[in-house]
């Protein structure tokens, strides 16, 4: 687990898009710092880049294939199950491609 000061410059979602990310009651100091960082122009740009890198494939797995959890236990078994699900997704995407 990382701690503050580990040199990681994180840009983490504080709430869902279009929703108010404020918590009821007292906010932690870390969340306040992150909220301030995300309000800057650089922070907004860096946060926008997340969507182009990591978010879409997980959305595809959940919505297109209905994969919302693992059936097996253990790291090697979960890795094998994830590989199978990703293979199925890639085959589905390839089916829609036209030959060059």
pLDDT tens for 51-98 read: 666 677 777 788 877 888 888 999 999 999 999 988 988 888 888 876
Query: In this model, does residue 16 exceed pLDDT 70?
Result: no
Which has the higher per-residue pLDDT, 22 or 66? 66
Contact 47, 11 (CB under 8 A): yes
Mean pLDDT of the chain: 78
Token code pair at residue 26: 């007292």
Residue 64's pLDDT is what? Answer: 75
Radius of gyration over alpha carbons of the chain, in Å? 18
Question: Which pTM value belongs to this model?
Answer: 0.43
Where do the domains of the chain lie? 1-53, 55-95
Counting Cβ atoms within 10 Å, is residue 1 exposed (0-12), middle (13-18) or buried (19+)? exposed
- Separation between Cα atoms, residue 18 and residue 31, nearest integer Å: 18
- Separation between Cα atoms, residue 94 and residue 84, nearest integer Å: 15
């Amino acid at each position: 687990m990382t701690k503050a000061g580990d040199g990681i410059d994180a840009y983490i979602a504080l709430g869902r898009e279009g929703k108010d990310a404020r918590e009821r009651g007292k906010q932690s100091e870390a969340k306040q710092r992150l909220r301030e960082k995300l309000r800057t122009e650089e922070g907004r740009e860096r946060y926008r880049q997340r969507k182009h890198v990591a978010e879409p494939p997980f959305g595809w797995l959940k919505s297109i294939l209905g994969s919302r959890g693992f059936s097996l236990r253990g790291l090697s078994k979960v890795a094998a199950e994830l590989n199978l699900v990703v293979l199925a997704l890639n085959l589905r995407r390839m089916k829609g491609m036209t030959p060059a």
